Structure 1
């Protein structure tokens, strides 16, 4: 079998391993015409016991919830997709990688409400470095576009269509010379970045926007809240005003790709002289966790065992 230089030896699609160059779908798929797709982003990390997938079951369970919002039934169980993910990472031989499980509607495509349309499920993975340069805090701007309201679309669904909004946010930021965008919700409260949750430190307490601010309840968000609380930091979910960001002690973003990334500047205002003490502390703790160095969090890891790899 030919080996794709990016996606390894195989992509899992509808229960079968395919050469990545042959894992294709029709241009007449419902997902292409109407945006009917759902996905997850997961990471596997190198550990002393081989590669381990972080929060695997939690991510797959969220994939099922995302589909449920749109009345899409996945033709596999959570356990089957968990095992398929493990097998794929093992088959491709990656020590660490980014994993993308995805669900999309195929054909027939003509009806907007796709009652009889085929539901396809795929999983791919590839080696991924840093999403953001963590050598210095990134530069962000508050975007002119607002985050879509959950009264318009279910923002707890990790649906492909939601990411058109994210593309507008990120694109505007990059064209204006920034690394990332921070969105406000329809009421003017801080929501999140284009593909990451936001945290703010002020006077020893960590704050993060509450879910009613069009915030995806990120799995890394949940992990960081737990790690911070275990370190003794109070963590509060509440509405955050835009002006609070400029006078925060620290701002950082969290996500599967972003991990924990410090924000050093927003709208050309340097945040507290670029301080990133707590962000760096949590990043170090996070990396110890995902690399299997902290036994108290061992159940967050799913190891790709030699028995699976054979």
Structure 2
């Protein structure tokens, strides 16, 4: 690892657990460090590995900064919690598993198998390539402990079918199941994604008590505001661009499907999925020790 200064959390949110939020600007991703203040046990949510698609260079500056912050504060990380198989960044889960002491469990929803089955043949992964990468496959409504704190799994499909949220006290880590109120919602056109499911997941989130805080996975703010990561359920109910009170399921589905039809492919789609469906493990090196990403190419019928 290269020496880098400790990353400073954008904010500390106090609650049942202490929540430290870290922003990664290249992919506009929010990463969270969830800490039980009594025991210092911690979990990392949706960590980002730096990747330059033009050069093919993988680097760990973002993850090293969070690692330094963890070490300096004496936190004891027990889990990496993925909300879903991200298509816009590579997960840094294996970096933390390697560089933190003790057993670090990499966790994701049990429906990751659906994503793996879809994408394995696209990237020429064998059945063996898909085995035993994640340490824990979480079930709907499952609860687990972080120190003395109870964490609950919430299935939130729509963006992807495997998508989870994590509920800790009044804090809910939503991944891409909802965006900040002025942005509304994430796309629902990935394999297994579904606008109706996304509407139902957003409705489920906005049915929580109004003082619950929803921590998002990304933020793409308009120019008039800075990046932010959290808003209350009550604020979303009144102000969420796509899910506020009064917007019907039919209106949401029509908008979401119309919008998704004109969205481009995520810039890091293929590198991200090749890594993320395997719990952050890079493809195996070839005989010369080189690691290669596969990029499927579609040809027009005139070239076939």
TM norm structure 1: 0.29
Q: Which has the higher contact order (CA 8 A, sep 6+)?
A: 1
Higher helix proportion: 1
TM norm structure 2: 0.30
